[in-house]
Amino acid sequence: GINAEYGGFICPGNAMEDYLGNPTVRTALGVALDADFFSADNGNGFVYNTSMQNVLPIYQRALAKGIRVMMFNGDTDPAINSFVTQELYLNRLFKNDERAEVWRAWGDGSKAYGAGYVETLKNIPFTFLTVRGAGHQIPEYKPYYSMVYMKKWIYNQPFPKTMI
């Protein structure tokens, strides 16, 4: 079972495929037992092929020209994990760059809990932002907070802090 194979956790390895491939789970979800599962959700008859393995060169070119870049992730996104993105960009690419803001909660200013976390660099126009409880298509999961962060980004305003 999943618990024995992954030491009680369902996160590592092929846990999602194992879980969604389980006949009991499929039955409970109303998914046909012979249905194909593809984690990127290609949809019916849609074939998805990546056009670029790494978008880092695009960001580097933009930053070299002084163009502001914001990378954002839903923190429950199974396709592009926010911890992996944070590690790749903040902890590797920009590891020697001074921070203007270090991993702080952001929100809309009206609630004690945050909508996610944000980190900005001091001398490079790069922002990394997460949205709490959002999957890959952030506006689908958190439309209000998507509007908040996009509006702040477009008008070059600071992301609101939580009430705490």
Is the pLDDT higher at 5 or at 84?
84
**Across residues 54-80, what is the average pLDDT?**
87
Low-confidence winner among 2-6, 25-29, 37-41, 82-86 (lowest mean pLDDT): 2-6
Residues 6+ away with beta carbon under 8 Å from 79: 39, 40, 136
How far apart CA 34 and CA 26 sit, in angstroms, is: 10
CA 64, 60, 125, 151: dihedral to nearest 10 degrees?
Answer: 120
How far apart CA 124 and CA 126 sit, in angstroms, is: 6
**Across residues 100-109, what is the average pLDDT?**
89
In the sheet that 126-131 helps form, which strands lie side by side, from edge to edge?
A: 69-74, 126-131, 116-121, 99-106
How far apart CA 55 and CA 157 sit, in angstroms, is: 26
Res. 10: pLDDT tops 50:
no
Chain mean position to CA 140:
13
Cα distances (Å, whole numbers) of residue 150 to 2, 98, 108, 114, 119:
39, 24, 12, 16, 15
61 φ, ψ (degrees, to nearest 5): -65, -45
Residues 107 and 162: beta-carbon distance below 8 Å: yes
Low-confidence winner among 73-82, 119-128, 150-159 (lowest mean pLDDT): 73-82
Is the pLDDT higher at 43 or at 25?
25
Q: What is the mean pLDDT of the chain?
A: 80
Q: What percent of the chain has pLDDT over 70?
A: 77
Res. 68: pLDDT tops 70:
yes
Among 145, 130, 121, 140, which residue's Cα sits nearest to residue 59?
121
Res. 18: pLDDT tops 60:
yes
Res. 19: pLDDT tops 70:
yes
- In this structure, which amino acid lies at residue 129? L
Q: What percent of the chain has pLDDT over 90?
A: 34
How far apart CA 76 and CA 80 sit, in angstroms, is: 9
Q: List residues bridging with 128 in a β-sheet.
A: 71, 119
